[in-house]
Structure 1
């Protein structure tokens, strides 16, 4: 067999092995992402907590779930993470005018910053129900486990995303996990 033929076969074989390895890594990443972002473990809210915490952005669905949990007697207080200005700021959300609701802007305005705000307002030995949306549940749990002093139960408000938004969330949440590993808690 000529040397050129052996070299070509060796190159093809290496390319097949590399392609198979890339495919395996890709399948593993997608399956991990699907279980973490699309179908995170479902947690039931505790029977009683000290606060129901809506983390940003404060969407109608998240606020409605917080109010539903409050009516069910889970907690008396609702804490909402809000931006400093815009439609979702404390000045523009009518829910922020209610006596049992505190709307506060965390610094930094990140999930870790939101856990830091939770620590400032509620210490160790307290319980918080944190409301976010489905793609953010796993990362919120991860950051809460590392950064929050209170015992945190993370639940998702109903989420409806099209395929493009799911793909965006897959990339965004993966980047957020990487950042959480590198940066840590504020």
Structure 2
């Protein structure tokens, strides 16, 4: 017999649980300005509006609205759900009074989107773009797109979910995305 009883293990287990709760609380507090209340920028005219992909589709509606309000003469949409997604026809295949182009990112990540933004910006001479994504993604998108695009970024958040379960999932997902972005070099 080793001399350990179940009671002798409880204090250590309690300390681990308390330390875990403290770490979760610290992560929640530290993540709030990144995932819940990120830096958003005031709108001003730009060379293009770029809508980063994903669902729900509200961000594409916001991109169309901004283009209709003439914040930029061109709308570039990342059709990350696929160009064959019938929901994307409204955005990618409907005539508009401004230039619209859609693309599938390669790879299907924010980095793939940023690389396409760089290609388009180089070809079109863009110096300022409005980037539309959802709130928990704003800070990470600013970091990744900013690594590829040398011009000015105006980050705009589309409407989205705000429930506790979604926010918890976004803390985990966006944190993992940041770790991945920090380990990648270049654009």
Is TM > 0.5 for Structure 1 vs Structure 2? yes
Residue 93 of structure 1 aligns to a residue in which SS?
helix
Per-residue deviation, 1:129: 0.5
Aligned partner of 1:42 among 40, 43, 55 = 40
Give distance in 1, aligned partners of 2:72 and 2:105. Answer: 21
Give distance in 2, aligned partners of 1:153 and 1:127. Answer: 8
2:149 alignment partner in structure 1: 148
Is 2:69 the counterpart of 1:68?
Answer: no
- Say if 2:121 and 2:149, in contact at 8 Å, map to a contact too: no
Q: Decide which moves more: 105-114 or 21-30.
A: 21-30
31 and 80 in structure 1: CA distance in 2 versus 1, 3 angstrom threshold = same
Is 2:115 the counterpart of 1:119?
Answer: no
Give distance in 2, aligned partners of 1:26 and 1:169. Answer: 14
Residue 107 of structure 1 aligns to a residue in which SS?
coil
Per-residue deviation, 1:40: 1.2
Give 5+ residue unaligned stretches, structure 1.
Answer: 1-7
Larger-gyration structure (1/2): 1
Residue-pair matches, total:
175
Give distance in 2, aligned partners of 1:112 and 1:66. Answer: 20
- Say if 1:58 and 1:88, in contact at 8 Å, map to a contact too: no
Normalization by structure 2: what TM-score? 0.79
1:5 alignment partner in structure 2: none
- Say if 2:75 and 2:101, in contact at 8 Å, map to a contact too: yes
2:23 alignment partner in structure 1: 25
Q: Decide which moves more: 146-155 or 111-120.
A: 146-155
CA-atom RMSD in angstroms: 2.7
Q: Decide which moves more: 70-79 or 123-132.
A: 123-132
